[in-house]
Amino acid sequence: MISLPSRTLGRILTPPSLVGFMVSLAEAPKGGKILEPAAAHAPFLRAFREAHGSGYRFHALEVDPLAFDPPPWAEAHLADFLLWEPNETFHLILGNPPYGALGAGVRLDPERRRLYRRRFTTWHGRYNLYGAFLEKGVRLLKPGGVLLYVVPAGWMVLEEFQKLRTFLAREGALEVFYLGRAFPGLKVRATVLRFRKGGKGLRLYEAQALREGDPPRLLLETPYWQGEMVRFPHEEAMALEREGIPLEEAFRIHFAARSPEVRAHPLTRPHPGPGLVPVLTGRNLLPGEVDYETPHSGLYFPKEAAYLLKPFYIIPHLVVGSTRHYRVVAAWDGRAYPWREEFHLLPKEGVRLDPEALVAYLNDPQIQAYYRGLYREVVPHLTRPMLERLPLPKELVSVR
């Protein structure tokens, strides 16, 4: 089940072709126990039984009684999967768990949030429900058991999933099938995860052409994966990393003051006035230049007091966009304005650079190809770990 953007209990069904693909990857011994969490009408159990027969013990679990319509041959459990404590484990767990970032797409009462935090070792930051569903599913597998979920691709690179990736690497072997936009009408990029409890290693497959009937194509295999970001192999991008300097070696990376922080400051004003300048946002950041005039934020702040929001605002520095939809956008803020968004980079001690040449390089098509080659469209924004690894040419940056 995928949660709707409207934050309702509405559901978007998994396309039958995707259900069929996942069932083709599923396995369980005859008489084995099979579970579909967040089951609703249990499309995965129905498809598995049709493909493999009835000689299994089927279990369907759902928290929403209005959505629950299990088949008569499955044992039904009306419960919150994340709080459910069965006295058994399973040979196969498969399905499409709910997702939503807590505090954004999903609202939880404080007590339930506390219960979840206490139960899940992978819980971190603004966690996403599908991360908890993954941890719970792995814990309910028998040794050698298989888990098959379709989930958004963000877990591959986002910082809040680092603990989850480490957990998966420690608990077993993982196969990842990258689907791209697999759900009609939704922008989310999806992956199918096939996890086997026990064993080691990671395999990454290209599976965007499943709709055209093409089989998955192996892109990457590493037996020593320990939970690092899952990136796509891209020869030119990796060559840039081998030859260049990681950005984190040359710059201290900061993030701008958040909107609540800016709005709450006693010097912030909603109208222009003497000594006030617009508080800049990502819309003021253009490739190679900063628009200092347009008040996109609707807020104003004394320019000479910008350091009171963030101390580094007072120093001319590099600004790199964080939410520019699969692009790297950079400019040099030579006027040292107050900002409400984006990454702000200050050279470390002993670093020499040419700001104009560096900005041109970061906006160059070569860097756009690097970014999209390694990360595709897994998430629409540049994350801090991605930025830290971005390679800088040695002829543009000197680190002593």
Residues that are catalytic: 96-97, 99, 183
Angle (CA) 373-379-382 rounded to 5° is 75
DSSP letter, residue 279: P
**Cα(260)–Cα(164) distance, rounded to whole angstroms?**
29
**Cα(17)–Cα(184) distance, rounded to whole angstroms?**
12
The β-bridge relationship of strands 90-95 and 2-3 is unpaired
Q: Are 300 and 262 in contact (CB under 8 A)?
A: no
What is the phi/psi pair of residue 321, to 5°? -70, 145
What are the structure tokens assigned to 318, written together? 């590099």
Residues 308, 310, 313, 314: is their CA dihedral positive or negative?
Answer: positive
- Which positions ≥6 away from 63 have C-beta within 8 Å? 38, 78, 79, 80, 81
